[in-house]
Amino acid sequence: MTTTIPTDKIKTSSEQPSAISEYLSQKIKFLTTISMIFVVFIHAYNYTDTFLQPMTCITEGLHIGAMTQFFFSNAFTRSAVPIYFIVSGYLFFAKRELTSKVYTHQIQKRLKSVLYVFLVVSTVSFACCTAIYTVTGAGVFPVIDERMAVVEQGLTGVLKIWLSNPFAFQLWFLMQLFLICLLTPLINWFIIRFNVLLPALFIVPWWFDIGFGIGSYNVFNADTYLFFTFGAWLGIKKIKLPGMDKPIGKKAVSWIMLACLTALSAIYTVYCASITVSSQKQMMLFKLITIVGIAAVWYLYDIIPNSFINSVPWKTLQKNSFVIFLLHEPLMHMIFQRGLAFSQSDCMHMLLYFGLPVLMILLMSAVGTWTRRYCPACYKILTGGR
């Protein structure tokens, strides 16, 4: 049986870049935008344990509201950060060999688009949150109180919150990305000589969530190293995975992967609601969900209608996905904390959970569109010229 490939998702070979096809380029944009949406929902969890981890148990137990939020925020969407790292590792190596000249150029680019952006957004969030805290005092926004307690310790505390644990806490990803980009010559050398062994070395620490840090900063984050080096391996070795240069032939695969992700997420959620002490089974389920989630999102692109992919609203989200990532926190936490201070009802919890992420995505997308159009200098400063 022959497979018909949508012509609006693929260009002819003469129109394609040498390393990355137009199809893959559009797919990567889709993956990163979906991942951005996932990150916003991960941060939207608003029951007791607002900062979710693989070993988080549902404090409320078998509670429908907490379980619903947990299902989406700590299971179904948890492929978001690994996807970002895979894409980052792949794009660093896919288009060119890593010569000393290329390395210098790539690091210069990331000084501007990653480290510079980290410092700008961290500084702005620091200033805004400090001003809010000065006006409101303690007890109004717990997400600010936690970091202000560190800031008040003096210069060391200020530097810690500015550079290590910023008010815009999602920025940890940018710092991890910049640090591992500095190591790309070693990554390149190791993969050229030992092939897939390098990412394989990180599977065990990732599976058991092993890391280490300097002081309170997590220098070795297993997610970062496993998934970035996996993407690097794909780029360096020019590996062609199914669905990389053209849609998969059988769309049933996409639906099966989504079904598996949904089922595993439900099992993990019920298990986490049924226990009071974390277990290794819980960690294993979480890691399995992450792997299946990456595959499910990868194949999701091929069952999304082309009319949606090419629609103006989706294109607008794609253009502003980085702005949404940068600016949605800590504002979203501040809003839902004040909402829950007004009412702790399950209705309020669920209204904030499903309504607030949508509001944040639309609002930050509007901010990105407006600044790009009417204040391009501000947009360039905010995004580092992305």
Q: What is the pLDDT at residue 385?
A: 79
What pLDDT is attached to residue 160? 93
pLDDT for 182: 96
Q: Please state whether the predicted TM-score (pTM) of the whole model is above 0.85.
A: yes
Give bridge partners of residue 220 from the DSSP assignment: 212
| Number of residues assigned to the chain | 386
pLDDT at residue 7, rounded to an integer: 40
CA distance 40 to 332: 9
Residue with tokens 């990653």: 114
Whole-number pLDDT of residue 249: 78
> Per residue of the chain (386 residues), what is the pLDDT tens digit?
333 334 444 443 333 344 688 999 999 999 999 999 999 999 999 999 988 999 999 999 999 999 999 999 999 999 999 999 999 999 999 988 899 999 999 999 999 999 999 999 999 999 999 999 999 999 999 999 999 999 999 999 999 999 999 999 999 999 999 999 999 999 999 999 999 999 999 999 999 888 776 656 677 889 999 999 999 999 999 999 999 988 887 889 999 999 999 999 999 999 999 999 999 999 999 999 999 999 999 999 999 999 999 999 999 999 999 999 999 999 999 999 999 999 999 999 999 999 999 999 999 999 999 999 999 999 999 998 77
Residue type for position 205: P
Q: What's the pLDDT at 384?
A: 87
Closest among 314, 312, 302 to 249, alpha carbons compared: 302
What local confidence, expressed as pLDDT, does residue 212 receive? 75
Show me where the domains of the chain are located: 79-238
In terms of C-beta distances under 8 Å and separation of at least 24 residues, what long-range contacts does 382-386 make, across chains too?
A: 382/117, 382/120, 382/121, 382/323, 382/326, 383/113, 383/117, 383/322, 383/323, 383/326, 384/112, 384/113, 384/114, 384/116, 384/117, 384/120, 385/112, 385/113, 386/113, 386/117, 386/322
pLDDT at 215: 59
Q: Which two tokens stand for residue 127?
A: 């200033």
